């Protein structure tokens, strides 16, 4: 329904009939039509936030109920560029970027760290895993990057192990990082 490759989608906890999708054009707010039967092709485009790069991952921030974090970037030949965007959804039909920080490479995936609400972990392409401090949402800061040995494509935490991050790493299979 977005007209582009869709890389990620998130349900909005404050709106039971809305989804936010990330694709090559940016962020798209979608409305679910439940009548007569809910179907994926019944999503209707409601609004868009254009960003310069492909948006690969999008997550809600539990400590900021009206904010989303977006991992984005592009890769072409030997060049890569990535960034983490903090997007306000106070007005869901007009999302707005409130903070941004450049990463070292293409930011493919992003996750929160359960016991550290002001840190985001980013799968940062060939740079590995990066940590972003969002204690100041208007000026997020890249605080660390760990080389995972290949290209980090996806990142997640392990339940009941809040200091461990698992990175899907192209070429090395999986990297586990103790932060």
Rounded Cα distance between 66 and 170, Å, is: 33
What is the structure's pLDDT at 1? 47
Name the pTM for this structure.
Answer: 0.82
Rounded Cα distance between 157 and 175, Å, is: 12
What DSSP string describes 94-155? S-EEEEEEEESS---EEEEETTEEEEEEEE-BTT-EEEEE-SSTTS-EEEEEE--SSEEEEE
pLDDT surpasses 70 at 84: yes
Q: Which two tokens stand for residue 88?
A: 């306000």
Helix ranges restricted to H, the chain: none
Rounded Cα distance between 142 and 115, Å, is: 18
**Of the candidate ranges 7-16, 87-96, 169-178, the one whose mean pLDDT is the lowest:** 7-16
- The larger pLDDT score, comparing residue 87 to residue 10, is at 87
What is the structure's pLDDT at 134? 96
What's phi and psi for 166, nearest 5 deg? Answer: -115, 125
Q: How confident is the model at residue 41 (pLDDT cuts 50, 70, 90)?
A: very low
**Of the candidate ranges 35-39, 41-45, 80-84, 99-103, the one whose mean pLDDT is the lowest:** 41-45
pLDDT surpasses 80 at 129: yes
What's the pLDDT tens digit per position in 116-125? Answer: 989 999 999 8
Looking at mean pLDDT, say which of 15-19, 59-63, 122-126 comes out highest.
122-126
């Amino acid at each position: 329904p977005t007209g582009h490759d869709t890389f990620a989608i998130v349900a909005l906890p404050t709106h039971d009939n809305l989804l936010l999708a990330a694709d090559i054009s940016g962020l798209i707010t979608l409305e679910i039509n439940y009548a007569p039967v809910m179907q994926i092709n019944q999503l209707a485009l409601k609004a868009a936030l254009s960003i310069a790069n492909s948006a690969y991952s999008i997550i809600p921030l539990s400590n900021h109920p009206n904010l989303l974090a977006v991992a984005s970037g592009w890769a072409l030949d030997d060049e890569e560029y990535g960034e983490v965007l903090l997007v306000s959804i106070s007005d869901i039909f007009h999302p707005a970027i409130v903070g941004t920080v450049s990463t070292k490479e293409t930011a493919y995936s992003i996750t929160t760290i359960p016991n550290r609400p002001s840190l985001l972990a980013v799968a940062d392409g060939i740079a590995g895993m990066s940590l972003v401090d969002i204690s100041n949402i208007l000026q997020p800061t890249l605080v660390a990057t760990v080389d995972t040995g290949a290209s980090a494509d996806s990142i997640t935490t392990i339940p009941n192990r809040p200091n461990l991050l698992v990175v899907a790493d192209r070429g090395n299979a999986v990297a586990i990082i103790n932060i």
